[in-house]
Structure 1
Amino acid sequence: MAVLPQIRHWVLWPAGLAAGLIIVGLTLSAVRALTAADLGIDQTLSLNHTAFLTAIALTLNALFSPLGGSFLLAVVCLFLAVARRSPVNAAAVGAVSLVGWLSSEVLKAVVGRHRPDASLLAHPLVTERGFDSFPSGHTCLAVSLSIALYFLARGTRWQRLTMIGGGLLSISVAASRIYLGAHYPSDVAASFVASLAAILFFSGLWNRYAASLLSRLGLIHRPDLCRESV
């Protein structure tokens, strides 16, 4: 992971996606009819909770929370750095995951969409208030970590399994946020785009600056030979 997969227009595309997300988020916040339609899905799920699904959703809620997510990333990075003796991969996985995760905080601050009203749900399982609903931080972390691990597994026999597993994990976390009543469906959908846009931009920065630094430190050799544009 000394050099990350990079698209050709790595500034333009992420900027366009970010601008689009901001426009969508502000529109959703301003148009009550759109939020009402979103809330209808939360209300339907709130009426159909089961013990098994609730246990899974609450587990994912804890695992991908700020505290749980930080611990999870620390464990993954320590494993790569110590057990696998690959500090470059550890740094890259950690950086990619964090960038995609923190993109949610930027958009939350810009958009300021209110959380679903728990009083309008039949059985709210978590109570989260405030104007930080768009997008979902939990989902952004799951998507970002999945992308980072896919980057790590690319070109190995684990590539396909990592892609499928990461996709299932990301979808499961996204669904759990709606199931718990913590987010609207459009919030979690936006999380996939937000994480991807941030990581696409970061990959370009990493290849331009980090790879050269790692080469000077003697951790990799000739990063320019393995740069890839997709």
Structure 2
Amino acid sequence: MTTSPRHTSSRGSRASSGHHRQGTGRRVLAGSFLLRHWGLGPLLICALVYGAGLVLKTNIFLAASDLHLLQDVGTHHTDMGNVIALMIHTGLGGLSAVVVLVLVAVAVMALKRSVPDGLMVLIMTTGGWAATAIMKVMVGRNRPDQNVLTDPLLPDVRGATSYPSGHTAFAVSLGIAVSLVMLRTRWKVPVIIGATIFAVIVGASRIYLGVHYLSDVVASFALSVAVAVLLSGAITSLQLTPDEQRR
């Protein structure tokens, strides 16, 4: 007995439709889980960053390895490198960083003609920056000893504010914030690439100047990403209706 092509096609269509519904259902369940538990991953990362800071603060072998890298970098200083690193140090520190943030937020508002997008940049960047300042106090790791560096460029930068790097956190948080608001525009690719390069250069400049260890910079990247996910999840959750949140 032969099977009608029409029946075979119909069964294939039903099977395909069933697989599609199953796949859609799995995606919806995964999306619902992420929306309900958007804080778990970021909070775990924050806890790990804190724990790593306490270990780095007390482990003399890890500290010696961090310091050795700074001493090696100091032997490769150049006039141009010094100028760029010092400009970043001044331009993204304190009040100067606030001015940069406001200018970028205003530029985003003007480019996208959206006040909420500009506010998003302000909130997410400030959030990552503030989290880093809090972590500095909680960990209390001393800055690299400028007296033992090969070529100290900022000998007066001292204190228990090394971990994580504030300049790096600012750059990473700002880059993530701008990338997110530009994600649905034709500028998304150059913005993401530019934000990544910007964050890497700022992080590298802190090691170049000898005012932060490599581990301080890595911690800033991890903490800033975690805070960005936490804030974006919170904002998305607030924008959902009660019915959407229960799904």
How high is the TM-score relative to the length of structure 2?
Answer: 0.80
- Identify the residue that residue 31 of structure 1 maps to in structure 2: 59
Give me the whole-angstrom Cα distance separating, in 1, the residues matched to 2:107 and 2:198.
Answer: 20
Query: What is the aligned counterpart of 2:194 among 165, 176, 184?
Result: 165
**Where does residue 91 of structure 1 map in the other structure?**
119
1:50 aligned residue: 78
2:142 corresponding residue in structure 1: 114
Aligned to 1:196: 225
Q: Choose which of 121, 126, 129 in structure 1 pairs with 2:158.
A: 129
Match of 2:152, SS state, is coil
Which of 76, 79, 102 pairs up with 2:104?
76
1:102 aligns with 2:102: no
| Cα distance in 1 for residues equivalent to 2:187 and 2:107 | 17
Q: Which amino acid aligns with 1:148?
A: A
CA displacement at 1:82 relative to structure 2: 5.3
Counterpart of 1:181 in structure 2 is 210
In structure 2, give the amino acid aligned to 1:149.
V
Q: 2:42 aligns with which of 14, 24, 30?
A: 14
Identify the residue that residue 61 of structure 1 maps to in structure 2: 89
**Cα distance in structure 2, aligned partners of 1:202 and 1:80:** 19
Deviation at 1:84, TM superposition (A): 5.0
Give SS of 1:115's match.
coil
Q: Distance in 1 between matches of 2:110 and 2:192?
A: 24
Gaps of 5+ in 2: 1-32
User: In structure 2, what is the Cα distance between the partners aligned to 1:181 and 1:173?
Assistant: 13
Which protein has the bigger helix share? 2
Q: Check if 1:143 corresponds to 2:167.
A: no
Task: Give, in whole Å, the separation in 2 of the partners of 1:68 and 1:43.
Answer: 29
| Deviation per residue, 1:142-166 (Å, 9 max, x gap) | 0001001110111222111111111
Is the alpha carbon distance of 1:75 and 1:7 closer, same or farther for their aligned partners in structure 2, counting shifts above 3 Å?
farther
The alpha-carbon deviation at position 204 of structure 1 amounts to 1.8
Q: Which amino acid aligns with 2:102?
A: A
Considering only CA atoms, is the larger Rg found in Structure 1 or Structure 2? 2
State TM-score, norm by structure 1: 0.86
The gaps in structure 1 that reach 5 residues or longer are 1-5, 213-221
Q: Distance in 2 between matches of 1:88 and 1:155?
A: 15
Alpha-carbon distance, 1:205 to partner: 1.6
Instruction: Report the counterpart of residue 236 of structure 2 in structure 1.
Output: 207
Q: CA deviation at 1:122?
A: 1.8
**Structure 2 CA distance for aligned equivalents of residues 68 and 7 of structure 1:** 37
Of structures 1 and 2, the one scoring higher in RCO (CA 8 A, sep 6+) is: 1
AA paired with 2:120? Answer: A
CA–CA distance in 2 between the matches of 1:13 and 1:138? Answer: 24
How far apart, in 1, do the equivalents of 2:81 and 2:164 lie? 22
Shift of 1:63: 1.7
